[in-house]
């Protein structure tokens, strides 16, 4: 082949390669723009998708149950209620003067609007009301939620039980059961999930842009899953724990090269 033909061939290959790379870059940008920030919880046969806001609120609800020394069932009841009342969103509106995760009413003694709009406060008030009901642990989940809420729709809560159970089990330590997708990482802010780790009494250490969680397997996984649910604002970029690794641009956990006992969370 003549030198001229070789030059034309090489130029053609270079152009095709450039188009291929450019097309991939465009594809990635479009894919990222169209892929919503979300967390997926998978426990047994139940799959639950949560938005960034829902995941954060769920972690607060569950962490508050742990800090009050309540069993898993309490977290399930609270999540069922928040699913029905607000869709796990911290609403600043509702029926009459109802606001917040649980649509609690200032006029009914739940607190001020400002207090109720604090997810930690509203969760604490919910558990306070729940604990006052004798034998609540043995009452049907739909019925006990209704006893706390006194809703005009008394049979509306039960349909959320499967989702609430999966989310509660995940945040309480089901291994590798929550994974989040996020393409635009925030600046590292470990304080964003420090509150939930402190509430569940997790043993963790913050060192620059790294957070290490230690303890027994259930404690470590609960801490990891709680942090994952708050990972968007925290700028969580990598988690490696007990032979598993997660990064935010891929859905699901993968096998890691190490199997250390501690969880190492990288930010930024």
DSSP-derived letter for residue 170 is H
Residue 127 half-sphere exposure, CB side, CA atoms within 13 Å?
23
Chain segment 153-211, per-residue pLDDT in tens: 999 999 999 999 999 999 999 999 999 887 566 677 778 889 999 999 999 998 888 99
Taking the C-alpha atoms of residue 145 and residue 64, their distance in angstroms, rounded to an integer, is 17
Q: Which residues of 180-190 are buried (b: 16+ CB within 10 A; e: fewer)?
A: bbbeebeebeb
Closest CA to 176 of 267, 251, 268: 251
Chain segment 13-45, per-residue pLDDT in tens: 444 455 554 543 333 343 444 456 789 999 999
Taking the C-alpha atoms of residue 25 and residue 19, their distance in angstroms, rounded to an integer, is 10
Name the pLDDT band for 100 (thresholds 50, 70, 90): very high
Q: Which helix (H) or strand (E) holds 180?
A: strand 178-181
Structure tokens at 103: 């649509």
Give the pLDDT mean for 145-156: 95
């Amino acid at each position: 082949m003549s030198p001229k033909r070789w030059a034309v061939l090489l130029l053609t290959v270079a152009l095709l390669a450039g188009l291929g790379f450019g097309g991939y870059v465009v594809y990635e940008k479009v894919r990222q723009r169209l892929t919503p920030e979300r967390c997926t919880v998978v426990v047994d046969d139940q799959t639950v998708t949560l938005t960034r806001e829902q995941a954060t609120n769920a972690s607060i609800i569950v962490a508050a149950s742990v800090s009050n020394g309540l069993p898993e069932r309490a977290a399930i009841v609270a999540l069922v209620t928040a699913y029905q009342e607000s869709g796990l969103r911290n609403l600043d509106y509702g029926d009459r003067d109802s606001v917040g995760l649980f649509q609690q009413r200032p006029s009914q003694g739940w607190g001020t609007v400002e207090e109720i709009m604090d997810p930690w406060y509203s969760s604490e008030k919910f558990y306070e009301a729940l604990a006052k009901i004798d034998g609540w642990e043995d009452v049907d989940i739909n019925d006990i939620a209704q006893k706390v809420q006194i809703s005009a729709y008394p049979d509306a809560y039960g349909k959320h039980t499967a989702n609430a159970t999966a989310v509660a089990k995940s945040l309480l330590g089901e291994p590798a059961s929550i994974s989040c997708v996020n393409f635009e990482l925030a600046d590292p802010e470990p304080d964003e999930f420090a509150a939930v780790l402190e509430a569940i009494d997790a043993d963790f250490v913050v060192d620059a842009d790294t957070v290490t969680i230690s303890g027994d397997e259930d404690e470590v996984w609960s801490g990891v899953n709680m942090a994952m649910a708050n990972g968007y604002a925290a700028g969580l970029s990598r988690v490696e724990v007990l032979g598993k690794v997660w990064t935010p641009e891929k859905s699901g956990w993968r096998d890691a090269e190490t199997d250390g006992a501690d969880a190492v969370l990288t930010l930024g």
